[in-house]
Amino acid sequence: MALAGLPLVLLVGALGRIPGSEGGKETPAHFLYQWKAECRFLNGTQRVRYLDRDIYNGQEIDYFDSDLGKFVAVTPLGQPDVDYWNSNEQYVQYLKAAVDSFCRSNYEIGSYEAAKREERV
């Protein structure tokens, strides 16, 4: 399966300590949250798969898969969000439509051929 992804990365860092979580311990002063949207193309735009991933401190916690048509939790940290998002039918339909609105509409932008080199004699 060819991968012509348009990864978008959103990095969010927090600088203050937030008390109250993890059994009364303070959360780390710094954490990394990433969001990645990915399009996978097979046979041009005939078969397109859209993936929307959430990553916390380098570990994927949940993702949306347009082939499945729902969110899937990878870790227990992502389960509350997945339950909430899957219960919101409008949001799920919006992300299913991203195959056309995001992936197929950007296919020409992300697809290119390298310039042909002239052969030296």
Residue 11 lies in a domain: no
Share of the chain above pLDDT 90, in %: 47
Residue 19 lies in a domain: no
Residue 38 lies in a domain: yes
Residue 63 lies in a domain: yes
Per-residue DSSP letter, 21: -
Residue 56 lies in a domain: yes
Q: Is residue 64 a contact partner of residue 74, using CB atoms and an 8 Å limit?
A: no
pTM (two decimals): 0.64
Residue 13 has pLDDT above 60, yes or no: no
Q: What are phi and psi of 103, to 5 degrees?
A: -75, -60
Q: Which of 10-19, 37-46, 55-64, 99-108 holds the top average pLDDT?
A: 55-64
Domain span including residue 54: 33-119
H or E, element range at 92:
helix 89-96
* Residue 120 pLDDT: 73
Write the CATH number for 97.
3.10.320.10
* Residue 29 pLDDT: 78
Q: Is residue 9 a contact partner of residue 35, using CB atoms and an 8 Å limit?
A: yes
Residue 49 lies in a domain: yes
pLDDT digits (tens, 9 = 90+) for 33-86: 999 999 988 877 788 899 999 999 999 999 999 999 999 999 999 999 999 999
